[in-house]
C-alpha cells in the first residue's frame, strides 16, 4: 500500500478559487479589449496592443490565447452565430426574393456595426475551426437562398455566391474608409448592388441618398493617409485612441 502524499505535494495542489477567478477575470478583460479594438480598428491590431488595452501582460494573454486566431475565434463566436441565424431567418421567409434582400442587408449591417467582423466576413481563418464551421453552415444556407431567389424569377441567373463575397470585400473597404466622414455610405453601395443583381422589373427597396461630396472627399483624404506613412499605422492609431 502506497503511503499518502505529503499535504504540500505539488501533485496534490489544486488552484485556489481566487486564482481561478483571477484567470477568468483576465480572460474577460482580454476579450472585452479585443472586441473594442477590433470593432474600431479591424483585425490588424497586434496582440501586444490588446494586452495593453486589457491591462495584462503579454504572457497572460498568451496563456489564455496562444495565437491571434484563437482570440479571433473567441471574440467573434457569437457574431458568427448571428450570421448563421440571419441565413436561417432568410430561408424561413415565404418570399424568396424578400428573404434574399433581407439577408444581404442584415449581413452588411453587421459589417458596418463592427469593423472587426467586417474583416472576419471577408477573410478565412482555417485554424479557427469553430468559426469556420459556422461560416460553412451559413454558406450552405446561402447557396439554397440563391437557388430559391433565382427560381422566383427575381435574382439574375448569372448571379453566383462569389458576387456576395465581392460585395462583402467591397463593403469592408467602404466601411473602413467612410466610417467617420459618411457612415451610411455602405447602404448606398448595397442598394446599388441589389439593383445590379435583380431581374428588371423586380421590386426593390428605396435607394439611400449618395453621400455629400465633401464627406466623400474627407473619406478619400483619410484613406490616403496610411499609404503616405510608414508601417505600424494601425497600432499607432490604436495607441493614440487609447491615450497611450
- pLDDT, tens digit, 9 for 90 and up, residues 68-112: 888 988 898 888 888 889 999 999 999 999 999 999 999 999 988
State the distance between the two ends of the chain, measured CA to CA, in whole angstroms. 61
Average pLDDT of 118-135?
Answer: 75
Question: Going from the N-terminus, what domains does the chain have, and what CATH number goes with each?
Answer: 23-66 (1.10.10), 76-210 (1.10.357)
Mean pLDDT of the chain: 83
Cβ distance 119 to 173 under 8 Å?
no
Query: What sign has the CA pseudo-torsion 241, 231, 72, 166?
Result: positive
CA atoms of 166 and 15, how far apart (whole Å): 49
Over residues 185-198, the pLDDT tens digits come to 999 999 999 999 99
pLDDT of residue 5: 43
In which element (H, E) is residue 85 found?
helix 68-92
* C-alpha 51 chain-centroid distance: 20
CA atoms of 125 and 180, how far apart (whole Å): 28
Amino acid at each position: 500500500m502506497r503511503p499518502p502524499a505529503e499535504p504540500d505535494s505539488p501533485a496534490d495542489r489544486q488552484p485556489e478559487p481566487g486564482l481561478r477567478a483571477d484567470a477568468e477575470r483576465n480572460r474577460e478583460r482580454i476579450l472585452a479589449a479585443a472586441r473594442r479594438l477590433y470593432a474600431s480598428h479591424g483585425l490588424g491590431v497586434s496582440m501586444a496592443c490588446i494586452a495593453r488595452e486589457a491591462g495584462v501582460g503579454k504572457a497572460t494573454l498568451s496563456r489564455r490565447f496562444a495565437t491571434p486566431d484563437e482570440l479571433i475565434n473567441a471574440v467573434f463566436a457569437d457574431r458568427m452565430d448571428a450570421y448563421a441565424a440571419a441565413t436561417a431567418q432568410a430561408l424561413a421567409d415565404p418570399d424568396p426574393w424578400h428573404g434574399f434582400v433581407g439577408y444581404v442587408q442584415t449581413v452588411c449591417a453587421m459589417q458596418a456595426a463592427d469593423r472587426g467582423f467586417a474583416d472576419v466576413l471577408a477573410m478565412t481563418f482555417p485554424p479557427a475551426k469553430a468559426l469556420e464551421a459556422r461560416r460553412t453552415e451559413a454558406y450552405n444556407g446561402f447557396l439554397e437562398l440563391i437557388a430559391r431567389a433565382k427560381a422566383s424569377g427575381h435574382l439574375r441567373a448569372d448571379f453566383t455566391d462569389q458576387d456576395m463575397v465581392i460585395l462583402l470585400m467591397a463593403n469592408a473597404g467602404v466601411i473602413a474608409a467612410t466610417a467617420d466622414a459618411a457612415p451610411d455610405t455602405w447602404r448606398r453601395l448595397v442598394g446599388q448592388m441589389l439593383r445590379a443583381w435583380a431581374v428588371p422589373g423586380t421590386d426593390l427597396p428605396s435607394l439611400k441618398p449618395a453621400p455629400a461630396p465633401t464627406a466623400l472627399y474627407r473619406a478619400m483624404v483619410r484613406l490616403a493617409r496610411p499609404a503616405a506613412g510608414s508601417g505600424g499605422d494601425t497600432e499607432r492609431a490604436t495607441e493614440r485612441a487609447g491615450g497611450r
